[in-house]
Amino acid sequence: MEKEVATAGEMANPELSGGLNSYKEAVYNVLENFFGWLSTHQGLALIIILIVLGIMVWLILRAKKYRKQFKNEVYSNKKEIGKKDTLIEEQEKKLTALQKKMSDQQGVVSEALMEP
């Protein structure tokens, strides 16, 4: 039984390498055709390469622009959140002060009601 497994493994190796060799040959053929075309159409290839590089530079600059806008937007949102946080803190301080005054007034009223 072990011999059958080994034999099956040995049989699979040539099939796998044969498949990879065909892909390897296909890639080499595509590259050969591409460079052959480049050697005969150098001017057109140069124009295409410059256009592709121009598009890449434009995309990079556009990404930087949007990143800068996003950073500014986040910064302004953080400022607004900070302002709102300080407003909330002030309101909480006022609320505690009002609660203290209310409890003081309740104490005064309860003392006044108990005296007569």
Residue 75 lies inside a defined structural domain of this protein: yes
Domain count, the chain: 1
* Cβ-defined contacts of 23-30 (< 8 Å, 24+): none
Residue 7 lies in a domain: no
Full residue range of the structural domain in which residue 67 is found:
62-116
Q: What is the pTM of this model?
A: 0.46
Q: What is the pLDDT of residue 27?
A: 94
Residue 80 is assigned to a structural domain of this protein = yes
Is the predicted pLDDT of residue 7 greater than 70, yes or no?
no
User: CA torsion 61→67→71→74, rounded to 10°?
Assistant: 150
Q: What is the pLDDT of residue 60?
A: 97
The two structure tokens encoding residue 26: 């296909």
Residue 46 lies in a domain: no
pLDDT tens for 65-116 read 999 999 999 988 888 898 899 999 999 999 999 999 998 888 888 888 887 6
